[in-house]
A and B are shown apart, each in its own frame.
Chain A
Amino acid sequence: MDSGKNIVELRNVSRTFRDFWLRPTVKAVDGLTLDVRPGEVFGLLGPNGSGKSTTIKMILGLLRPSGGEVSLFGLSPRSVEARRRLGYLPELSYLHPFLTARETLMYYAGLCGLGRSEARKRTSQLLEMVGLEEAASRVVAGFSKGMSRRVALAASLVGRPDLLVLDEPTSGLDPVSTKEVKTLIKALSAGGMTILMTSHLLADAEDVCDRVMILNHGKSVAEGRVADLGTSLEEFFLAKVGDIEHFRLAPFLSQES
Chain B
Amino acid sequence: MRGFLEIFKLEAMSLVRSKAFAMLLAFSVAWVVAMACVATGDGTAEGSREVFVRYSLGGVFYLLVVALLSSATGSLASERAANRLQLAMVRPVRYFHIALAKAAALTACGAVVLVVSAVAVCFRTGVSERCSHVLKPAMPSPREEAEAMYKTYMADPNTPAAVRHASKGVVLRLLANRAIDRYDTVGTNETATWRFPLQDVAGESALGAGLAVRARFTNRFDMRDEVRGVFRTGGLCGVASNITQAVVKVPLGGSAPAGEELSFQNLGASALMFRPRRDVELLVPADAFLMNLARALMELVAILALVVSFGVFLSASLGRPVALFVAMVVLVVAEMSPSVVEQYPDELETKASDRIGLVMTRFIEKVTRPVSSLNPIERLATDSCVEAREVADVIALDFVAVPVLLALVSAFVMPRKQE
State which residues 48-87 of B face A: CB under 8 Å: 82-84, 86-87
A111 and B3: CB pair below 8 A? yes
Residues 219-259 of B, flagged 1 when their CB comes within 8 A of A and 0 if not, give 00000000000000000000000000000000000000000
Residues 84-123 of B, flagged 1 when their CB comes within 8 A of A and 0 if not, give 1011111111100000000000000000000000000000
Number of A-B pairs whose CB atoms are under 8 Å?
75
- Complex contacts, B419 vs chain A, CB 8 Å: 62-64
- Of the candidates A63, A78, A94, A107, the one whose C-beta lies within 8 Å of that of B83 is A94
Minimal beta-carbon separation of A61 from chain B (angstroms): 7
* In the assembled complex, B418 has its CB within 8 A of some CB on chain A: yes
Given the interface pairs A62-B415, A98-B17, A99-B13, the reply to whether A110 lies near B87 with Cβ below 8 Å is no
A residues contacting the other copy or chain, number (CB 8 A): 30
Given the interface pairs A92-B83, A94-B84, the reply to whether A113 lies near B89 with Cβ below 8 Å is no
Residues 1-27 of B, flagged 1 when their CB comes within 8 A of A and 0 if not, give 011011101100110011000000000
Minimal beta-carbon separation of B346 from chain A (angstroms): 41
A111 and B91: CB pair below 8 A? yes
- Of the candidates A64, A80, A96, A99, the one whose C-beta lies within 8 Å of that of B92 is A80
Q: How far is the CA of A95 from the CA of B5 in the complex (A)?
A: 19
B92 and A112: CB pair below 8 A? yes
* In the assembled complex, A70 has its CB within 8 A of some CB on chain B: no
Given the interface pairs A62-B415, A107-B10, A111-B92, the reply to whether A90 lies near B3 with Cβ below 8 Å is no
A62 and B13: CB pair below 8 A? no
Closest to B16 in A: A98
Residues 104-146 of B, flagged 1 when their CB comes within 8 A of A and 0 if not, give 0000000000000000000000000000000000000000000
- Of the candidates A96, A155, A159, the one whose C-beta lies within 8 Å of that of B10 is A96
Q: How far is the CA of A112 from the CA of B9 in the complex (A)?
A: 15
Residues 101-134 of A, flagged 1 when their CB comes within 8 A of B and 0 if not, give 0010001101111110000000000000000000
- Complex contacts, A29 vs chain B, CB 8 Å: none
Q: How far is the CA of A62 from the CA of B80 in the complex (A)?
A: 12
Q: How far is the CA of A99 from the CA of B18 in the complex (A)?
A: 11
Closest to A103 in B: B13
Minimal beta-carbon separation of A228 from chain B (angstroms): 32
Instruction: Report whether over half of chain A's contact residues are helix, strand or loop; otherwise say mixed.
Output: loop
Minimal beta-carbon separation of B267 from chain A (angstroms): 71
Stretch in A43-51, A81-89, A169-177, A207-215 touching the partner: A81-89
- Of the candidates A63, A108, A115, the one whose C-beta lies within 8 Å of that of B91 is A108
A113 and B13: CB pair below 8 A? no
Q: How far is the CA of A159 from the CA of B93 in the complex (A)?
A: 12
- Complex contacts, A159 vs chain B, CB 8 Å: 91-92
- Complex contacts, B18 vs chain A, CB 8 Å: 98
A86 and B3: CB pair below 8 A? no
- Complex contacts, A111 vs chain B, CB 8 Å: 2-3, 6-7, 88, 91-93
- Of the candidates B6, B13, B82, B415, the one whose C-beta lies within 8 Å of that of A98 is B13
- Complex contacts, B91 vs chain A, CB 8 Å: 83, 108, 111-112, 159
* In the assembled complex, A60 has its CB within 8 A of some CB on chain B: yes
Q: How far is the CA of A208 from the CA of B91 in the complex (A)?
A: 26
- Complex contacts, B3 vs chain A, CB 8 Å: 110-111, 113
Minimal beta-carbon separation of B4 from chain A (angstroms): 9
Q: How far is the CA of A103 from the CA of B14 in the complex (A)?
A: 12
B5 and A90: CB pair below 8 A? no
Identify which of B88, B90, B93 gathers the most chain A CB atoms within 10 Å of its CB: B90
Minimal beta-carbon separation of B316 from chain A (angstroms): 15
Identify which of A88, A90, A111 gathers the most chain B CB atoms within 10 Å of its CB: A111
Q: How far is the CA of A80 from the CA of B90 in the complex (A)?
A: 9
Q: How far is the CA of A99 from the CA of B90 in the complex (A)?
A: 20
- Complex contacts, B418 vs chain A, CB 8 Å: 62
Given the interface pairs A84-B92, A111-B91, the reply to whether A90 lies near B83 with Cβ below 8 Å is yes
Q: How far is the CA of A95 from the CA of B10 in the complex (A)?
A: 12
Identify which of B7, B86, B92 gathers the most chain A CB atoms within 10 Å of its CB: B92
State which residues 40-70 of A face B: CB under 8 Å: 60-64
- Of the candidates B2, B83, B86, B90, the one whose C-beta lies within 8 Å of that of A86 is B90
A88 and B90: CB pair below 8 A? yes
Minimal beta-carbon separation of A1 from chain B (angstroms): 25
- Complex contacts, A103 vs chain B, CB 8 Å: 13
A110 and B92: CB pair below 8 A? no
- Complex contacts, B14 vs chain A, CB 8 Å: 96, 98
Given the interface pairs A80-B94, A107-B10, A113-B2, the reply to whether A90 lies near B415 with Cβ below 8 Å is no
B415 and A107: CB pair below 8 A? no
- Complex contacts, A83 vs chain B, CB 8 Å: 90-93
A113 and B92: CB pair below 8 A? yes
- Of the candidates B2, B9, B90, the one whose C-beta lies within 8 Å of that of A62 is B90
Q: How far is the CA of A136 from the CA of B191 in the complex (A)?
A: 81
- Complex contacts, B94 vs chain A, CB 8 Å: 80
Closest to B86 in A: A62
- Complex contacts, B88 vs chain A, CB 8 Å: 111
24 sampled A-B residue pairs with Cβ under 8 A: A60-B86, A61-B89, A62-B86, A62-B415, A62-B418, A62-B419, A64-B419, A83-B91, A83-B93, A84-B92, A86-B90, A88-B87, A90-B83, A90-B87, A94-B84, A99-B13, A107-B9, A108-B87, A110-B2, A111-B2, A111-B91, A113-B3, A114-B2, A159-B92
* 7 A-B pairs with the lowest CB-CB distances in the bound complex, closest first: A110-B6, A84-B92, A111-B91, A98-B17, A83-B92, A94-B83, A80-B92
Besides the known contacts A94-B87, A110-B5, A111-B3, 5 further A-B residue pairs in the complex with CB atoms under 8 A apart: A83-B90, A92-B83, A96-B14, A96-B84, A98-B17
